[in-house]
Amino acid sequence: MTEVSLALIALATFGFFVRAIIGPSLSDRIIAVDGALGCIVAGIVVGAVLTESAIALDAVLVVTLVGFVGTTVAARFVERRGG
């Protein structure tokens, strides 16, 4: 079941990256990158369950915090830019 989960997460991540490339607006790209980061976090968690590794949860914490700060900064940029 974990292999199926990883495959579906990879498919979703690919879809988010496609959306980030084609846009059409900066807000769409920011949301797509944020969604891709969420999929990456989910993939790390599923991988940690698969390998029974607790150290991967530290990576989840770091990726989540970096993603939150990055999304917040990008949202502030878009808000000040006016669109």
Give me the CATH number covering residue 63: 1.10.287
CA of residue 23 relative to chain centroid, distance: 16
Phi, psi of 20 (to 5 degrees): -65, -30
For residue 25, pLDDT over 70 is answered with yes
pLDDT digits (tens, 9 = 90+) for 36-75: 999 999 999 999 999 888 888 888 999 899 999 999 999 8
Task: Give me the pLDDT at residue 59, please.
Answer: 87
Q: What's the predicted TM-score (pTM) here?
A: 0.84
List the domain range (segments joined by +) for residue 18: 2-81
Average pLDDT over residues 23-47: 92
In whole angstroms, what is the distance from residue 66 CA to residue 80 CA? 21
Number of structural domains in the chain: 1
